[in-house]
Structure 1
Amino acid sequence: MNQQLIDNISYFIRLSEEEKEWISERFIPRHYNKGDFFLREGQVCREVGFIEKGLIRYFVTKEDGEDLTVDFNKELEYTCNYASFLDHSPSSTSIQCIEPSTILCISYDDLQLLYTHVAEGQKFGRLICEYLYVLAIHKVRSMYSQQPEQRYLQFLDSYADLVPRLPQYYISSYVGVKPPSLSRIRKRLAR
């Protein structure tokens, strides 16, 4: 039984011992090397993953081939392109491992079973969706209403523990500036 996963789910809902065992059997561990993809743009997302170990980034590729980093996830967080997962459409986002990662994966069909087999399974699904919705709204608002320096400060507030683990060009892409501009922002803030 993966205790980290069970503890995470138990934060949201009550689980019986039988339900804990049932859930553990449906989350399959997958190992990824640095640079491996959990999901490529254009593929249909068929699994939700719980990151046991590692760090991933979400990115979109512009027409000119440039990657734009839109998010990060680390240990004890879930990963998925939820729009693709829910409606079985091709993903507009790639999900790539920045570090060697172990991700516990549950299929779409097994997640639907979880919602019915676990007494509070539907509540769990609703709470996760609400949480993701609030995060998405904050990110969209940030991109449209904040200057790059404010977005960088917000990045530091949200992801301070990731700074040593991330290449600077991923951070600058996430903030929405080129690496030299991020360097200038960092110098200004250091004064």
Structure 2
Amino acid sequence: MTLTEFFKRFAIFDDREIEAFVPLFTVRHLKKGASFIREGTRCTEVAFIETGIFRSYYAKENGEEVTYCFRFPGDLLGAYSSFITGDPGLETLCALSDASLLVIQKKDLDRWVTENPKWMVFLKVVAEQQYLELENRIFQLLRETAAERYAYLLRHHPIYIQQIPLHYLASFLGITQRHLSRIRKEITF
């Protein structure tokens, strides 16, 4: 999906409006292992993922990293709470593969919001989607087994899941790598 297609799917902006603001996005390439944002820094930009896979994680006091989210091509990428509040972020967003991003600065978004009320509608829809995603994640963790959560990932992101290291998948599922290996042997599609 292209950035233009991404905006069109919301049916908020007309083609002329999309053509006007797409040039505000700049291309950024990240190598595997590079961070889009690191824990403790302020998020002042958001990106559209053209290519690549990202994981969002936080570090426990003992240094253990806990993966809580993956982002794939066609998704937006940013430390959402830091982006909204301006406070230092609690998470790191790291490329699991070489990636190509289209990045826009918060100051540019803020300007567009004051100039075009449709941006408020767009940002509201994005906030609602973030909320629904978080709620879905909570319900998955509370209601589903690790095998069901893994099967969900396989159904929705079959190609990308194969590219994510097992220890990150296990962390995301809240299980050990050994348990994940057993699950993978049992699940067939």
Name the TM-score, length of structure 1 as normaliser.
0.90
Determine if contact 2:153/2:161 at 8 Å carries over to the other structure: no
The aligned length equals 188
Determine if contact 1:19/1:118 at 8 Å carries over to the other structure: no
Q: Which runs of 4+ in 1 moved over 6 A?
A: none
List runs of 5+ in structure 2 lacking aligned partners: none
2:152 to 136, 151, 154: 154
Deviations 1:97-130 (A, max 9, x none): 0111111111111111222334522211111111
Partner of 1:83: 81
Deviations 1:125-179 (A, max 9, x none): 1111111110110101222332222222222233323122111111111111110
Question: What is the rounded CA distance, in whole Å, between the counterparts of 1:23 and 1:159 in structure 2?
Answer: 30
Question: What is the rounded CA distance, in whole Å, between the counterparts of 2:117 and 2:5 in structure 1?
Answer: 16
Question: What is the rounded CA distance, in whole Å, between the counterparts of 2:118 and 2:25 in structure 1?
Answer: 18
Partner of 2:50: 52
Partner of 1:185: 183
Question: What is the rounded CA distance, in whole Å, between the counterparts of 2:106 and 2:161 in structure 1?
Answer: 33
Determine if the alignment matches structure 1 residue 61 to structure 2 residue 64.
Answer: no
Determine if contact 2:7/2:18 at 8 Å carries over to the other structure: no
Partner of 1:20: 18
List runs of 5+ in structure 1 lacking aligned partners: none
Determine if contact 1:13/1:120 at 8 Å carries over to the other structure: no
Determine if the alignment matches structure 1 residue 101 to structure 2 residue 105.
Answer: no
SS in 1 for 2:49: strand
1:70 to 68, 71, 80: 68
SS in 1 for 2:100: strand
Query: Residue 177 and residue 120 in structure 1: after superposition, are their counterparts in 2 closer, same or farther (change >3 A)?
Result: same
Determine if contact 2:56/2:67 at 8 Å carries over to the other structure: yes
| Aligned-residue identity in percent | 28
Partner of 2:7: 9
Residue 17 of structure 1 deviates from its aligned partner by: 4.4
Partner of 2:37: 39
Question: What is the rounded CA distance, in whole Å, between the counterparts of 2:167 and 2:39 in structure 1?
Answer: 20
SS in 2 for 1:41: coil
Deviates more, 1:107-116 or 1:13-22: 13-22
Give the letter for the 1:95 counterpart. L
Alpha carbon RMSD of aligned pairs, Å? 1.7
Give the letter for the 1:164 counterpart. Q
